[in-house]
Amino acid sequence: MLESVLVTIATAATPLLIAAIGELVVERSGVLNLGVEGMMVMGAVTGFGIAITTGSPWLGVFAAILVGAAFALLFGFLTLTLVTNQVATGLALTLLGLGVSGMIGEAFIGLPGVKMAPWVIPGLSDLPVVGRFLFAQAPLFYVSILLVIGVGYFLFRTRAGLTLRSVGDNHDSAHALGIRVIGVRYAAVLFGGACAGLAGAYLSLVYTPQWIENMTAGRGWIALALVVFASWRPWRVLAGAYLFGAVSIGQLHAQVIGVSVPSQLLSALPYLATIAVLVLISRNRRLTMVNTPACLGRPFVPAR
Amino acid sequence: MTEVGAGVDQRHEGEGGELLEVRGLTKTFGALKACDAIDLSIGKGEIHALLGENGAGKSTLVKMLFGALEPAAGEIRWKRRVVAIQSPGEARRLGIGMVFQHFSLFEALTAAENIMLALDDTTPILQVAERARELSKAYGLPLDPFAHVGDLSVGERQRIEIIRCLLQKPDLIILDEPTSVLTPQEADRLFETLETLRDEGKSILYISHRLEEVKRLCDRATVLRHGRVVSHCDPRRETAASLARMMVGDEVDTVKRVGSVDASGQSLLEVKGLSRPAANPFAVSLREISLSVRAGEVVGIAGVAGNGQGELFEALSGEALQDKAGAIRVRGTDAGRLGISGRRLLGAAFVPEERLGHGAAPQMRLSENLFLSRHVTDAGAFVGALGTVRSGALANAAARIVEAMDVRKGGEDPEASALSGGNLQKFIIGRELDRQPAVMIVNQPTWGVDAGAAARIRQALIDLARSGSAVLVISQDLDELFEICDSVAVMHDGRLSAPVPIAEATFEKIGLLMGGATPERAEPPEKAETA
């Protein structure tokens, strides 16, 4: 019982984790990308479509990453090169992604999907309780954990990561030092978009291997909240993703057990938890001030 | 131009072998010629002063030299080669380093991380920290590489900037108003460092409007006014007055302090045991602050930036409320629990440090800004019966203030952000003076304001006090405080010293207090300074 609960929590947490870790990098560079939901849903529809036409879930995954990055490139071109408002642009891209994915996906509705086979590690997967949770998961589960480790190491142990954080902290100073602010931000935005696309592919190739319109169902927004919840720290994103995953799974289990709570209220639980966490976080000013990228959402226009 | 080998004659005068030669450098912003055909030459091993009022074009000029702005015309010769400096990175590769006036540091990062970002090689962070520590020892600039910059004082931040600049081994170091944020003692230490650097053959471009330090330190000077070079001169052969004349053009009115204070004047602003915990990790907590300002008196609060002056201003103005209503009394009434408007109704007026965004809404017109600060106190004059804005009365009042303070502006009622810093400050001060407030509290009244406007503002504050009001001036400019105050108290680390009557105050005494010494034991504050 516990083992299967852990496995389902991981299934719910992984897409949140992948999208959030990408957005964390974006926000650490000082850009607020509210288009995560749109990039995710585009990744989901592309991943699904390529996987069923080619029969290869891996090609679907790569296509999803590319489409997520392409959407992010559009976001970058608008907000970084043309210096449009980041909030409005992100919202517009979310709406665009939801619309375009619905249009592309019309042909896919009801088709059987291709499920990505799990990687079962012999021996270890037979461990009690954690065996199936840690060692018999879809490949993207391992990718999500590697992403957290990689991003944590990159941000706090490498020079490039230091450069990225400096751009998010004070872009004018970074520019004065000769750092190419816009270049760094493009790279971060592309990475974030690729992660969002990957998270979308997880939904349509692992979580529920089929296409349902609007199948991200607000997970992009939860990922955004998660970055704040984690105060821009990769390991806390991991913890937060599993917490939110547990909340959404707990909701399903409560229904099974027969707890008589309206299902609409239960589905709203993750969002309520997000709001509660946001309130708690914003009360602790030290927590946010030390970690918050000071230039978050501020457009950069170098004077020439 | 004769070609003389540089290096042998390190402190050479005149022509030949110049490190940097600038000819006809021009930069325009819209209709404004910020720099107009500037010529400048700097030799090896020379400290060269760049003098000028705010807005004379100094910052624009050095930004072009550092690749942060692109010149519209003119040429830059570096080591006798014409160069086009496209970016700060390129300037650094050429050997030009810069220490900025508003520091270009990252507050969320440590000192070592800040330094590392400016180095092109990929040295591990621990080695960077070690090299920084060695260098800081060699030049007498104590530094903790692992401290977060957000937690450091302004003087310490400047040290990081200088160390960072030195680690790049530049031939020319540009310093933009380096002493404007330092205590006199910190400034002395900086001068020693600069002299050491000059003796090692480095060249320094020293930007300042403080004439005494230029005379003391610099070998040559270039004076700018309104974007043009007024003079190339030897500051040691000039007097402070003659340099000032070159900078300002005509003589600036000196501020006149008339009359003496009536010691029996009633205390209009009373602060008793005011404490306030730090609101965020980068703020300073206020501890047991007491002070009293009598009618007819100007009291100054000196201190190095970031010692709690901003927090004190917020507490006094009512942006931050006190727990005890009696902690602040305005004209005998407890005001500690009153908000800004409540305190204004008691007759107090406030001018914050930041002009744009705090003192005035940048995108709103002057008359609208006037309404914003006075719609409660002057509701009778500016608000109509149905809560409407009486724009005619507003326009008249705005015109009266513009007239009284000699605010120079383009257009009838421009947006606040369209005014120059000095003119906007005159308007903001004038807006409060126009009410004849009984208590006037000003933070940094003339920061970044040209000499003419500064003199006008200072005179207005003295006149207000002499007409029977209590005036409290928070400032980092000691010259200013000595010019207008009847007594000066010093803030250090959230505490306020007892006021020193101006007759007994000296720069040294106040400087020691700024470094954290107590008046009883005014020893050199080695420890407190690095705290």
The domain spans of chain B are 20-248, 267-361+437-530
pLDDT tens-digit map of A55-88: 999 999 999 999 999 999 999 999 999 999 999 9
Pairing of strands B228-233, B333-334: unpaired
Determine, for residues B117 and A179 on separate chains, whether the beta-carbon distance falls below 8 Å: yes
Determine, for residues A170 and B113 on separate chains, whether the beta-carbon distance falls below 8 Å: no
B239 and A CB contact within 8 Å: no
Number of separate domains in chain A: 1
Q: For residue B170, which of B20, B70, B277, B290 has the smallest C-alpha distance?
A: B20
Q: Cα–Cα distance between B241 and A183 in angstroms, integer?
A: 49
Assign residue A176 the CATH number of its domain: 1.10.3470
Residues of B in contact with A286 (CB under 8 A): 280-281
Burial classification of residue B165, based on how many CB atoms lie within 10 Å of its CB (0-12 exposed, 13-18 middle, 19 or more buried): buried
pLDDT tens-digit map of B289-325: 999 999 999 999 998 777 889 899 999 999 999 989 9
- What DSSP character marks residue B179? G
Q: What percent of chain B has pLDDT over 70?
A: 88
**pLDDT at residue B526 is higher than 60:** no
Q: Pick the residue with more confidence: B209 or A139?
A: A139
Q: Does pTM top 0.90 for this prediction?
A: no
Spell out where B57-150 has E strands: 73-78, 81-83, 96-99
A289 and B CB contact within 8 Å: yes
pLDDT tens-digit map of B420-440: 777 889 999 999 999 999 999
| pLDDT grade for A205, boundaries at 50, 70 and 90 | very high
The pLDDT of residue A65 is 98
The pLDDT of residue B86 is 87
Determine, for residues B109 and A162 on separate chains, whether the beta-carbon distance falls below 8 Å: yes
Distances from the Cα of A284 to the Cα of A69, A273, A281, A289, B339, angstroms: 34, 17, 5, 9, 24
- Interfacial B residues in 67-96 facing A (CB < 8 Å): 68-70, 87-90, 92
Whether complex ipTM tops 0.95: no
Enter the CATH code of domain B267-361+437-530: 3.40.50.300
Rounded to 5 degrees, φ, ψ at B122 are -110, 45
Residue A260: count other Cβ atoms within 10 Å of its Cβ: 6
Q: Cα–Cα distance between B107 and A199 in angstroms, integer?
A: 33
Quickly list H helices, B350-450. 366-374, 379-382, 391-405, 421-433
| pLDDT grade for B143, boundaries at 50, 70 and 90 | confident
Quickly list H helices, A77-85. none
Nearest CA distance, A200 vs chain B (angstrom): 33
B322 half-sphere exposure, CB direction, 13 A CA radius:
28
Nearest CA distance, B352 vs chain A (angstrom): 23
Determine, for residues A169 and B117 on separate chains, whether the beta-carbon distance falls below 8 Å: no
Q: What percent of chain B has pLDDT over 90?
A: 39
Rounded to 10°, the helix A36-54/A57-76 angle is 150
Determine, for residues B281 and A162 on separate chains, whether the beta-carbon distance falls below 8 Å: no
Across the interface, which of B87, B109, B281 has its CB nearest the CB of A286? B281
Across the interface, which of A159, A172, A177 has its CB nearest the CB of B122? A159
**pLDDT at residue B71 is higher than 80:** yes
Q: Is the Cβ–Cβ distance between B173 and B195 less than 8 Å?
A: no
Spell out where B377-506 has E strands: 439-443, 470-474, 487-492, 495-496, 500-501
The long-range contacts involving B289-293, CB below 8 angstroms and separated by at least 24 positions, are B289/B495, B289/B496, B290/B496, B291/B472, B291/B489, B291/B496, B291/B499, B292/B267, B293/B267, B293/B268, B293/B269, B293/B439, B293/B470, B293/B471, B293/B472
Nearest CA distance, B77 vs chain A (angstrom): 20
Across the interface, which of B90, B116, B281 has its CB nearest the CB of A290? B281
Residues of B in contact with A284 (CB under 8 A): none
A85 half-sphere exposure, CB direction, 13 A CA radius:
4
What's the Rg (C-alpha) of chain A?
Answer: 19
Angle at Cα B167 formed by Cα B162 and Cα B172, nearest 5°? 70
Q: What is the end-to-end Cα distance of chain A in Å, rounded?
A: 64
| pLDDT grade for B11, boundaries at 50, 70 and 90 | very low
Structural domain including A157 reads 2-119+129-291
Enter the CATH code of domain B20-248: 3.40.50.300
- What DSSP character marks residue B283? S
**pLDDT at residue B2 is higher than 60:** no
Residues ≥6 apart with Cβ < 8 Å to B254: B455
B351 and A CB contact within 8 Å: no
Determine, for residues B104 and A169 on separate chains, whether the beta-carbon distance falls below 8 Å: no
Residues of B in contact with A291 (CB under 8 A): 108
Q: Is residue A254 part of a domain?
A: yes
Q: Pick the residue with more confidence: B514 or B23?
A: B23
Determine, for residues B117 and A286 on separate chains, whether the beta-carbon distance falls below 8 Å: no
- For the record, the structure tokens of A267 come out as 């589905």
Nearest CA distance, B3 vs chain A (angstrom): 33
A179 and B CB contact within 8 Å: yes
Q: Pick the residue with more confidence: A266 or B267?
A: B267
Could you tell me how many CB contacts below 8 A there are between chain A and chain B? 69
